[in-house]
Structure 1
Amino acid sequence: MQKEISNALQVLKEGGLLLYPTDTVWGIGCDATNPEAVKKIFQLKGREDNKALICLVADDRMLGKYVKEIPKVAFDIFEVSEDPITIIYDDAQNLAENLIAEDKSIAIRIPNDDFCFQLLRRFGKPIVSTSANISGQSTPKTFQEIDTLILKGVDYVVNLHREKICTKPSSIIKLSANGKVRIIR
């Protein structure tokens, strides 16, 4: 696993794209602070750049660098949630502008996956995590279902967990600074 982390780190530092297993589905990733890398993901997926992407952080300490204020209820959600959950926060900061939604929100997940955790800790910054599919196509449940255009369009494919079957992406909820909670998915 350390060799895969080293290879992935090199690609991230160079502004490249990565195809990697997460705690939910196979994801396309890049440095979430690099607008050129984020632009490459939109182009690869054929996705409109006004549609927000999810990013991953290692822990709540890292989260605090990219969200102005973490609502207290978020910590309760982290504690009780057994399934992967992505939270949309108001007032994103220190991220690529083209990653942040028009309303200045950002979708972030703290993954429960050893590879992702170690990669994020060593990289020290958030990593984009969008499903490994062309926009409009269904999310691949296995590595073998990933479209050839995606496989050829990334700079590195992580060689781990290729046998993993993904049943569903994370749940998504929006937490507003005013305490309002809304379930998105």
Structure 2
Amino acid sequence: MAGEFGLRRVLNTISNKDIYIISHSRGASVVLSALAEPHFNEKFVKDIKEIHNVDVENAKELLENKNRITCIMLAPAIGLADFKSQEAGNDSFCTISPQVKKMHITINNTDKMLKKFFGFFADKFNPTDLGYKDNVYNELVKQYTCFDKTDFSGMESHAFNSYIRSPKFKTMLKANSIALAK
């Protein structure tokens, strides 16, 4: 909901700008829900309305304001399911705003949080395999041309500070034309 009702509202006030969004872990879900049109199943819509008094079907659409959006998703704790429709029997991918020019993610097969070391409980939590497995990225590249990746494998920490202090992060910033302060 933070993406649809928060970040999207902010983005709708900006037009014809270069916008850079950097997220970490579950923040990737917020970014994705702001930039895509998620499809929710009926039970979810009903439960959210009853429990939180939020009508997700009345969220404002992301306006096509001619922005050029670049997303850098560090340790994205989302998965293939986050890009698919949640309606029963519908296996289609969601539509991402054409304003999104790049989604640059990190892959890290040694990040213990993304690996879900919880064993038995792993399937009870949200998917995290986009940030952990190349195969999810490879599937998404077939659907979306805006994806790019940088491999952070070898770094075991999931901490935001570890990601942004990595020389690889600085390389990602430069690759996405983000100037670094000297």
Give the alignment's TM-score, normalised by structure 2: 0.23
Give the alignment's TM-score, normalised by structure 1: 0.23
Say which one has the larger Rg. Answer: 2
Give the structure with the higher percent helix. Answer: 2
